[in-house]
Amino acid sequence: MEKVNVDVAKLEKEFETRSAEDVLKWAFDTLKDKVGFANSFGAEDVVLTDMIAKIWPKGKIFTLDTGRLPYETYEVWDALEEKYGIRIEPYFPDARCVEDMVKQHGINCFYKSVDLRKLCCKIRKIDPLRRAFAGLDAWITGLRRAQAVTRTAVHKIEIDEANGGMLKLNPLADWSEKDVWDYIKKHKVPYNKLHDKNYPSIGCAPCTRAVKPGEDIRAGRWWWESPDTKECGLHKK
């Protein structure tokens, strides 16, 4: 991964009022095979899959298979590949690192402390992400400002300092939850069926639960922690 020689401040301002499709078109026209989409199969990510399949069908789409994903996530993965005729590249955690963590701390160590939960996220998600970035100058995410208190400052185009200064593109930054679901329904996009069971945000199975009426949409992620720690480290500033 390398820093891209572009005026990010100018692009950030220019694309703030542009559509998600415009952001993606600019990215693939400018960066071509140097940009990849990190797909976690949530509602936002299936929207982006649909857009990318129509704009740049051969674009790199990858996912981080932690080994503890819900069955429903694998179902939508398969459905997206079938509908769009694509292959989504999997990146798995290093088996030895997972084995050592479980031997030392236990199979569900992430419930014991924030530090252990972050260790698990590092091994299962962050380290594989670094491998996925090989050869890329930019990555695309489904982040939205309305998702969480940790995401209110997200820009459509920004520098990812935590990942060597590569570009980070968040085409849906200004979308509402309604915008997401209106798109899914209009374009008949396959989606994770856990969403129909009050799972607005879906990660690993043991770290995700349904939310109760009136709860925040991220309340079901790492629900035993305080809201200001509810990130796995993939989107660290």
Question: Which residues are designated catalytic?
Answer: 232
DSSP letter assigned to residue 173: T
Instruction: Report CA torsion sign: 123, 231, 193, 54.
Output: negative
Tokens linked to 53:
């399949």
Give the Cα separation of 70 and 29 in Å (integer).
35
CA distances to 56, 104, 147, 156, 179 from 175, rounded to whole Å, are: 21, 42, 10, 11, 6
Q: Select from 55, 37, 52 the least CA-distant residue to 91.
A: 37
Q: Select from 44, 89, 53 the least CA-distant residue to 200.
A: 44
The owner of tokens 């491998």 is 131
Q: Select from 233, 160, 217 the least CA-distant residue to 43.
A: 217
Tokens linked to 133:
């970035």
Q: Select from 121, 145, 90 the least CA-distant residue to 229.
A: 121
The owner of tokens 């849906």 is 172
Strands 60-64 and 166-169: unpaired
Please provide the DSSP assignment of 3-17 as one string: ---S-HHHHHHHHTT
